[in-house]
Chains A and B, each alone.
Chain A
Amino acid sequence: MTTMTPIATRPVISKHIGLGTTLRNTLTMAYRALLKIKHTPDQLVDVMLQPILFTLMFAFIFGGAIAGSMGDYLPTLIPGILAQTVIMASVTTGVSMREDMEKGVFNRFKSLPIARIAPLAGALITDFVRYAIAISLTFLMGFILGYFPAAGALWILGAGLLAMLTAWCMSWIFAWLGLIMRTAQSVSGLSMMILMPLTFLSNAFVPVDTLPWFLQGFVGVNPVSHLVAAMREMLNFGIIGADFWWTLVGLAAIVAIFAPLTLRAYKRTA
């Protein structure tokens, strides 16, 4: 190291952070999140165990009762499990966001001349890896039990992408909760409380016409029902129907509401 000479006048530095720098900072933060997964793979356990356990349990326990046989239940069940899995996986964004902010390292990020949005944006990108793992595992479990979607490979890819998009859009909700709530624990607690009824009070696992009328009303408007129905149509019949578009509308609405809320809360704390 050489010796610095004193600074005579205030140095000339740009205030502006360009798009290129923002992008680079974001990718670095995404890389950091990937490294964390590599070092503590146990944080993937929830993402991995859930599709395996739920597929097995539902297929063997309810298959006979609901559809007559396990094989007949799978075309209904797998899209439902897919929806449940990605939605549950999207909670992690908020939880890990909160955990990160509780640590000293976040203070250092705040004191660095980097794009403010990078830590958040990086986390949102890395979550795609999680979602991809969860979705692949669900399909894999389906294959093992004997479910080969009738519509074929391209439609599997399409439904997988829709599931991924859903998870990403939903993750804005939990990122926001992560920013405004005080502890990581309360974030995951509240999220579960919202998501459990939302996924079970849908068409994900049971035929809707067996439900009492007041639940049928709710199931009909539940966005999860639209997602599940859209994926069933894609996987089993290779069609894109009204439910697909309703799902997109719902997702767009979620992002339109929660992305600004998240960014505002983020600016205030970060």
Chain B
Amino acid sequence: MKQQAAVFSNSASGVGGNANASGVGSAGGAGGNANAGGASGASGVGGNAGNAVLAIEAQGLKKAFKDNQAVDGIDLKVTQGGIYGILGPNGAGKTTTINILATLMRPDAGTAQVFGYDVVREAQQVRQLIGLTGQFASVDENLTATENLVIFGRLLGLSRAAAKSKAAALLEEFALSEAARRPLSNFSGGMRRRLDLAASLIAQPPLIFLDEPTTGLDPRTRNQMWETIRRLVREGSTILLTTQYLDEADQLADRIALIDHGRVVAEDTPSNLKASIGAKTLDEVFLALTGNAIDPLCPLDPVNPFEQAA
């Protein structure tokens, strides 16, 4: 966790207090100790009550593009640790919600906090606590994998040497070492996604946004991605993940918000959601709540094609 400490103290030039990985200042009079005995992060949900600040809290978020109300009053409460899934069809407002929470967009109405920091007024602090992997590869096409990671590392305040070794370590971890010196134009979709995720992890942020991390990936690559995501959670990160794949939400998420037309239509653990409707699959839940199938136009779900039939 040294890297994160380095990032924090470097980029927040002048504030020395916060070199602690958990972000709970041992200096600066922040006082309270992390509830170390609490959630290990593996199970995440429920285990993490008590005095921990919420990873994400959003109230009444709204955002419109011209006459399209993309987000229409979304409330979210995401506790630390674990994976929180936002599941909904294309155009339900998933990406817009993430963009607001990741400080890329200002909401028209409503407020949101990340670890207690307001995403509009305190965007600069929020940015030090998050990593974002967008739906579209947010890496530089013209550069090599290593160069991409080194540049992000340098921007986050690492020294040249630290940025290089961090880049090498991440490439190794994501099985990209062999392609490290190749320009991205030769990368496959899966490799790009992995690099994209690796770039979000340089600062080891406590909260990671993954916007449809496996859309368009083949089943094998998708499984690898799932493994990576689970490992991040085991290491204590909180993950907010959007997906239009039912099985992905079902397999990964500890809690799920079902959203449709910019609103949360239901929010609970996957098993509770199913139990409440008496349904076998999340799609049945969604169908019962909204009258629509989540993914009617995508029968090619590679992992569990049968779910789509519902």
* Chain B residues, CB < 8 A from A45: none
What is the distance, in angstroms, from B135's C-beta to the closest C-beta of chain A? 8
What is the distance, in angstroms, from A1's C-beta to the closest C-beta of chain B? 5
* Chain A residues, CB < 8 A from B214: none
* Chain B residues, CB < 8 A from A106: 138
Q: Among B10, B32, B134, which residue has its beta carbon within 8 angstroms of that of A108?
A: B134
What is the distance, in angstroms, from A129's C-beta to the closest C-beta of chain B? 16
* Chain B residues, CB < 8 A from A32: 140, 143, 147, 151
Asked if A17 and B13 sit within 8 Å, CB to CB, the answer is yes
Q: Which residue of chain B is the closest to A8 with respect to CB atoms? A: B32
Could you say which interface size class chain B belongs to?
35 or more
Residues A13 and B129 in contact in the complex (CB < 8 Å), given A7-B53, A8-B52, A28-B154: yes
User: What is the CA–CA distance of A17 and B156 in the complex, to the nearest angstrom?
Assistant: 12
B40 on the A face (CB < 8 A): yes
Asked if A11 and B134 sit within 8 Å, CB to CB, the answer is no
Could you say which interface size class chain A belongs to?
35 or more
Interface residue ranges of A26-45 to B (CB < 8 Å): 28-29, 31-32, 35-36, 39-40
What is the distance, in angstroms, from A267's C-beta to the closest C-beta of chain B? 12
Asked if B17 and A4 sit within 8 Å, CB to CB, the answer is no
Asked if A36 and B237 sit within 8 Å, CB to CB, the answer is no
Residues A14 and B15 in contact in the complex (CB < 8 Å), given A4-B235, A31-B151: yes
Interface residue ranges of A87-142 to B (CB < 8 Å): 103-114, 118
Asked if B237 and A4 sit within 8 Å, CB to CB, the answer is yes
Asked if A111 and B116 sit within 8 Å, CB to CB, the answer is no
User: What is the CA–CA distance of A113 and B117 in the complex, to the nearest angstrom?
Assistant: 14
Q: Among B14, B53, B157, B236, which residue has its beta carbon within 8 angstroms of that of A14?
A: B14
Asked if A111 and B35 sit within 8 Å, CB to CB, the answer is no
By CB atoms of chain A within 10 A, which of B31, B41, B116, B152 has the most?
B152
A210 on the B face (CB < 8 A): no
* Chain A residues, CB < 8 A from B142: 35-36, 39-40
Residues A7 and B127 in contact in the complex (CB < 8 Å), given A18-B13, A36-B142: no
* Chain A residues, CB < 8 A from B8: 13
* Chain B residues, CB < 8 A from A113: 11-12, 124-125, 127-128, 156
Q: Among B13, B30, B151, which residue has its beta carbon within 8 angstroms of that of A12?
A: B30
Asked if B116 and A3 sit within 8 Å, CB to CB, the answer is no
What is the distance, in angstroms, from A47's C-beta to the closest C-beta of chain B? 17
Q: Which residue of chain B is the closest to A32 with respect to CB atoms? A: B151
Asked if A15 and B122 sit within 8 Å, CB to CB, the answer is yes
Interface residue ranges of B118-150 to A (CB < 8 Å): 122, 124-125, 127-132, 134, 136-144, 147
B206 on the A face (CB < 8 A): yes
User: What is the CA–CA distance of A4 and B206 in the complex, to the nearest angstrom?
Assistant: 8
Asked if B115 and A7 sit within 8 Å, CB to CB, the answer is yes
Residues A9 and B125 in contact in the complex (CB < 8 Å), given A14-B12, A28-B154, A108-B152: no
Residues A110 and B1 in contact in the complex (CB < 8 Å), given A4-B206, A5-B36, A15-B125: no
By CB atoms of chain B within 10 A, which of A5, A9, A21, A39 has the most?
A5
Minimum-distance CB pairs A-B, first 3: A10-B116, A11-B23, A4-B236
Query: Contacts A6-B81, A28-B151, A112-B152 given; 4 further ones with Cβ under 8 A?
Result: A4-B1, A7-B206, A32-B147, A103-B140
Can you list 24 contacts pairing A with B, beta carbon distance less than 8 Å? A2-B21, A4-B237, A5-B36, A7-B52, A7-B206, A8-B52, A9-B32, A20-B13, A35-B142, A36-B140, A39-B142, A39-B143, A39-B183, A104-B136, A104-B137, A105-B139, A107-B132, A107-B134, A108-B132, A108-B134, A109-B155, A112-B155, A114-B155, A114-B156
B→A interface (CB under 8 Å): 1, 8, 10-15, 17-18, 21-25, 28, 30-36, 38-41, 48, 51-53, 80-81, 102-104, 115-117, 122, 124-125, 127-132, 134, 136-144, 147, 151-152, 154-157, 183, 199, 204, 206, 234-237
